[in-house]
Structure 1
């Protein structure tokens, strides 16, 4: 069985309260929450339960999918509603999510109050963040009869509230309503698949998958990747995508006292911590379908060099380790409130990981070993992306979102020239076109 290192990091536990309608009053009385919920709901929504609908905010499959929204600096709470029609539900059965600064609840109708509560939590991580931009998501899953809610990426690891519908699941929900005017929500997305199991960050070729791997659930097969990732994987996954022993020895030596060390030291001077630096060696040219050159050999010196927490222009990516190993920390979102990772994975030589605009997109790479690490990063925009955001966003030393234009420290040809001049590279390395 393939060996992987994956650690789910501690996150504040949710305090989920599941409510059973026939015992609702007794349960609420016992826990002294009935008055609290009623007062909070009255404070935020009074007797008004607005619903706004807009074209495009529709589930592709009835009662299945996720709505994910960026709510900009909300002053009050909000609701999201899965509805059979694109007009006010007027007390009919729906699945609604209510997010406030005091509690979060799943509702059976778009009416605040204990009688309609399916499940609720007062866990601080789940609550509304007034005055702060944040992604919120709501998942409906008719096959497994589940409702889920979370923040950041729509993924199982970031689920903050879950409710299992015991019977009579609403199977004809199509439209997504909001208590907020849709014109105030600038970033919104519908996903066809609901949040179910967490697709692991480790990618393995179909020829290497075992029954034990499937049972353990620690791998993602190439066939399960989005088409953009599959295209990138087909280029870099081959057995000849390697660094030769000569090049490895040369890079190690040059990082110690050669040209690569000189370049690295200059980059380190730009940061409060000089170890927040690494080298970008580009391969080929910018083809127009990625942020910068699509293929980048990144060199991570040992003893704690790392990247800032960053994202990749809403692009898809494949990362293959060519030498040594790298730690990867994954974060819910790119903001100072989310600098605690929810997942850590260690990728070793020849192992592959991936990221998408919706999964594992915010991360930090770190080399804790004594030796340097080499990774091959490959990027591609979504086929339907007509904007092509050309910069990487990252958290700077002040934990503010800053931008970085993908550049190059050296091309791969220039790297080989450096190693040759420094006496490390003696064997000519030619492409197939040069050999012909």
Structure 2
């Protein structure tokens, strides 16, 4: 194997680095087409002879293959999901010393997640991959790390200009983590009604946002009135986890035995959504019940509607997709449902909570909204001239006029932005070449950033090319062009409650939306959407905030987006970081969204690379 210095020199000159001489690749699947495609592309990108690869679907051939290999050989196994457990166990028993690692290649990632967990107890399982490009990129990354081409991992520090990580411990055994002060301040929900400055604009849609703040201790009452009879949404946020019960009732007296009520009760073991007349739904799943004390604010909500005759309960963002319990109300109770106009709250089953629980007043928030949760939100913004009745009734797209002012301003500022221009018509092509060429700035920068989000992972890297200066109007720069090579993506992260517009400039980007950012986020099923070139999506302070972006294109085409951010006028904190789940899944970090390069400087650099390298 070449020396480290020689490999670095080869990389700088654009020469392919050879792979370890003792490395082999065994494809255990009957998919000949995928095998040939991935093998050929891998050998083209990496200096690898095709005879290092072998395909079989027969266990006896596999056994013979291992027997014929010298003792020093290490074999990477790439297996179909349906076959991987049996063949891995066989190889582990018969040829344990020669098995380097296992890649699971299948269509359904979730289906084989338990198999992956079982196998990880005895062998190195790199992961489950359902796209050829993601498998290919991970294989390339493994070679880069084995050849020591990655820089040493950065050590996270607590300076404000660095990537900061706080460990979130096992809450049953460890104390609550100490968070940096600015994180505590920014994550604390406001003790005031938080509607934006255009709250009276009739064109703006609020998407069930409960913006009216209510404090039982300040009002000296555990009862409040809803603004509209028969419908609404209530949000409760807790930093100290304490069981609670909410009654949505048609009687002002919380103890009236004749009252018709929709009741939400939740503790550490169970959540129950029921009516006083017997309709009931419940769950004992741990990520559905009262969340643990981990230093974070947890968000619960209940919605009901006299129109749909439904009562909904969820955790995190308030939208139909993140509903946990859905209780159908009886049509025979419609008149009483229409009369519901009171909210009664009880914490820890304590009728004297105003006096006995005053010490947790600052750890609990209540917000009340008028609009119940009825339909899923359209994620795509289209121009007015393209908007039709079909979009309106199917909620498949929206107008930018329906969003708050910061989103409208950002949308109009980038709607006509283009990458390829008359003076640089092949700008995108040069970027693609810079990503693929080891001597290109894009390629080298991506390798350098492999440990940006904790444990080194080249797949979780992308480029941030910024326009303008940091002016304090957003976390980092207001305008960021982000470049996503094939197979690359972001960690699961949120955006500090900013307004945002995202437009796809080139390729397409796959987005997963999550209800909240916690270490158990993966337990919640995400909303999954593919945004195509030219499409525009949006973000509000309490909607679409927690997401993960990935380029899953299988044809070696990068995705390029422009992300625009802005604090709202109602934002009194201006949180400067993006919080993310670290690559090891064991901590939440606070990332200062720095620039990799200014846009004009980047464009000039790509001109130089076109002249000197391509």
Identify whether the pair has TM-score above 0.5, normalized to the shorter chain: yes
Offset, 1:346: 0.7
1:68 is aligned, of 220, 235, 247, to 235
1:341-386 per-position Cα deviation (integer Å, ceiling 9, x unaligned): 4211111110111122222211000112212111000111222111
Cα displacement (A) at 1:216: 4.2
Q: Deviations over 1:159-192 (max 9, x none)?
A: 1222343212143525452425561534544334
Of 344, 352, 357, 2:536 maps to 352
Q: Which residue of 2 aligns with 1:195?
A: 373
Superposition CA RMSD, Å? 3.0
Per-residue deviation at 1:98?
1.0
Residue 53 of structure 1 corresponds to which residue in structure 2?
216
Distance 1:383 1:227 in 2: 10
Map Cα deviations across residues 296-351 of structure 1 (whole Å, 9 max, x no partner).
Answer: 1001112x111000000111111000001111011121112121542111111101
Q: Which moved more, 1:372-381 or 1:270-279?
A: 270-279
Q: Is the 8 A contact 1:151 1:158 kept in 2?
A: yes
Aligned-partner Cα distance in 2 for 1:392–1:292: 9
CA distance in 1, matches of 2:251, 2:584: 46
Contact 1:94 1:170 in 2 (8 A): no
Cα distance change of structure 1 residues 176 and 359 upon mapping to structure 2, 3 Å threshold: farther
Counterpart Cα distance in 1 of 2:225 and 2:428: 52
In 1, the alpha carbon distance for the partners of 2:218 and 2:303 equals 19
Worse-matched range after superposition: 159-168 or 54-63: 54-63
Give the number of the structure whose residues are more often helix, by fraction: 2
Q: Which region of structure 1 is more displaced relative to structure 2, 279-288 or 58-67?
A: 58-67
Q: Is this contact kept in 2: 1:393–1:402, CA < 8 A?
A: yes
Match of 1:260 among 442, 455, 460: 442
Change (3 A) 1:255 1:60: farther
Q: Secondary structure at the residue paired with 1:197? A: coil
Distance 2:253 2:362 in 1: 19
1:149 touches 1:162 (CA, 8 Å); kept in 2? yes
The answer to which of 276-285 and 133-142 deviates more is 133-142
Q: What do residues 114-150 of structure 1 show as CA deviations (whole Å, max 9, x unaligned)? A: xx54322236253334556632111133443432111
TM-score, length basis structure 1: 0.75
1:149 to 288, 296, 313: 313
Instruction: Report the Cα distance in structure 1 between the residues aligned to 2:569 and 2:265, rounded to whole angstroms.
Output: 34
Return the offset for 1:269. Answer: 4.1
What corresponds to 1:126 in structure 2?
288
Give the match for residue 98 of structure 1: 265
CA distance in 2: counterparts of 1:213 and 1:253, whole angstroms: 39
Among 368, 375, 395, the residue aligned to 2:581:
395
Cα deviation per residue 1:236-289 (whole Å; 9 max; x = unaligned)?
A: 223x44444421122112223322222222111444211211111111123332
Partner of 2:158: none
Q: In the TM superposition, what whole-angstrom CA distance separates every residue of 1:16-67 from its partner, at most 9, and x where no partner exists?
A: xxxxxxxxxxxxxxxxxxxxxxxxxxxxxxxxxxxx8245876454443322
Give the count of matched residue pairs. 368
Counterpart of 1:317?
Answer: 500
Matches within 5 A, 1:92-241: 92-108=259-275, 116-122=277-283, 124=285, 126-131=288-293, 134-165=298-329, 166=331, 167-168=334-335, 169-171=337-339, 173-175=341-343, 177-179=345-347, 181=357, 183=361, 185-238=363-416, 240-241=417-418
CA separation in 2, counterparts of 1:346 and 1:424?
35
Query: Using a 3 Å threshold, how does the CA distance of structure 1 residues 83 and 215 change in structure 2: closer, same or farther?
Result: closer
Unaligned runs of 5+ in 2: 1-108, 111-214, 349-356
> What secondary structure is seen at the aligned counterpart in 2 of 1:66?
strand
Q: Which has the higher contact order (CA 8 A, sep 6+)?
A: 1
| 1:23-62 alignment, distance < 5 Å | 53-55=216-218, 59-62=226-229
Q: Structure 1 CA distance, aligned partners of 2:391 and 2:569?
A: 31
Task: Determine if contact 2:254/2:344 at 8 Å carries over to the other structure.
Answer: no
Structure 1 residue 229, shift from structure 2 partner: 1.8
Query: Post-superposition shift, 1:71?
Result: 3.0
Partners of 1:65 and 1:55 in 2: CA distance: 22
Of structures 1 and 2, the larger Rg is shown by 2
Measured after TM superposition, the shift of residue 199 of structure 1 is: 0.6
Please tell me whether the aligned partners of residues 232 and 305 of structure 2 are also in contact (alpha carbons under 8 angstroms): yes
The whole-number CA distance in structure 2 between the counterparts of 1:401 and 1:152 is 17
